[in-house]
Amino acid sequence: MPSLLLGIDIGTTGSKALLLEEDGAVRARATSEYPMHTPQPLWAEQEPQDWWSATVKSVQAVLSAGSNPSSIAAVGLTGQMHGLVLLDARGASLRRCIMWNDQRTARECADITREVTLPRLLRLTGNPVLPGFTAPKILWVRKNEPELYRRIRKILLPKDYVRFRLTGAYAGDVSDCSGTSLFDVGRRQWSRDMLEALGIPGSWLPDVFESSEVSGTLGPEAARLTGLPEGLPVVAGAGDQAAQAIGTGIVREGTVSATIGTSGVVFAASSSYRIEPEGRLHAFCHAVPGTWHLMGVMLSAGGSVRWYRDTLGREEIAQAASEGRDPYELLIQEAAAVPAGAEGLLFLPYLTGERTPYPNPHARGVMFGLTVRHTKPHLTRAVLEGVTYGLRDSLSLMRGLGIAPHQVRASGGGARSPVWRQIMADIFGTEITTVNSEEGAAYGAGLLAGVGAGLYRDAAQACTRTVRETESCTPGPNTLHYEKLYPRYRALYAALEREFEAMALTVAARTA
């Protein structure tokens, strides 16, 4: 009986193929990169054909590691969300994909919000409409590329274009479609009201499946190119954050993940459909049928620490290079000797603006409370604490909606540091754990493929059999001190919000 699983992740920088055994062990992995195009400032585009070529190359690479293709039970897909792929009547791509990080649609977002109203948007889609989402990009194309717009027959998200090339099916999944501003997240179906309000034909949209359902089978041309067997089931899969959550075992309410990459993501499974009243949290369908998830995103989590390392950590970078060590390790080791709270030093981590809980592109970083007593280790600890306070902002919003986390699973670069994990436990007031899986969304896609193929009963069983906790720490004596400092951190944004806006206008006038 086939017992291998193939997860494919169409990421922002490359297509990753991951071959898993039924017990979760990784048999082989491969990533093939592709470029990002920025034809104008704030624009971001990619060629769908590049995704397909890279996917073929990555799949061929994992198969060349010696695995028998006939041992693969199913394929699962995941990838970057929100991107706009436009196809004509023959299934040919009409233009480059407008990506999740493209910022050209601010005017369209304002138009949609004015037309539909924010309360109705939240009721219908669970989220405010943002420049990264799919619907405003469709309106931008209608306004700016009318000839091309008239040729549209299908709209797909990035991973679903690869599915189309694998199977010939126009299909998507509930979690990924939740980020389009066209999806009724509560009912887990396309929103007729949104389509009518925006004048978008429903026939353009793909069929929608639950994440562990089979959405099609591998066609003959895809089989010839990849080396996979024709007829192989291709499971619907999930958007990258939902798949990442499956890969770290976030399948039931009460367990939350905090992922610290360049950005920071706090992700909570929810057994019911909940909406944050002001839209400060994303509310999407989860990859587990009948469940949803809440998600907060801060823009400069690990990015703040990297900025700090590159700007003020030159000595540590040089020392690390000579000793064969990680400069982050040296910086954090020095910060460990500093008392919790960095002796009154607070850092606001808004180096590239912020999203949760303040959707403000003009927010800026602040180091507050500096005195002559403070040294570099104080600054380092303040940065780590400031990022963690920012993640707690999302956790606090979730708690306000009735999510009661008993554990936070940490992943990403920040989770590698025991010092930072303890800071997280103390500031969050919860147990912090790490897990054995470090393969990201592709791992979750592979597990979803296993559910679709019948190797696991459901996502919960898949995680029980493959995802294991590795390290754990609990809140310590510093927790009470951080409880007193957190309101001071929160008060700084409110005190400075007008100044952020004024400074942005001043800078814009100076550079105009």
How far apart, in whole angstroms, are the C-alpha atoms of residue 201 and residue 178? 18
Q: Which of 16, 14, 96 has the alpha carbon at shortest distance from 49?
A: 96
DSSP string, 223-268: HHHH-PPTT-EEEEEEEHHHHHHHHTT--STTEEEEEESSSEEEEE
Q: Is 240 a catalytic residue?
A: yes
How far apart, in whole angstroms, are the C-alpha atoms of residue 502 and residue 491? 18
Half-sphere exposure of 174 (CA within 13 A, CB side): 22
Phi, psi of 421 (to 5 degrees): -60, -40
DSSP string, 355-400: -SS--BTT---EEES--TT--HHHHHHHHHHHHHHHHHHHHHHHHH
Residue 512 DSSP label: -
Longest CA–CA span in the chain (Å) reads: 70
Which of 50, 160, 176, 240 does the annotation list as catalytic?
A: 240
Phi, psi of 486 (to 5 degrees): -55, -45
Residue that has been written with the tokens 């219908």 in this structure:
124
Q: Which uninterrupted H or E stretch holds 4?
A: strand 4-10
How far apart, in whole angstroms, are the C-alpha atoms of residue 30 and residue 41? 32
Q: Which residues are catalytic?
A: 240
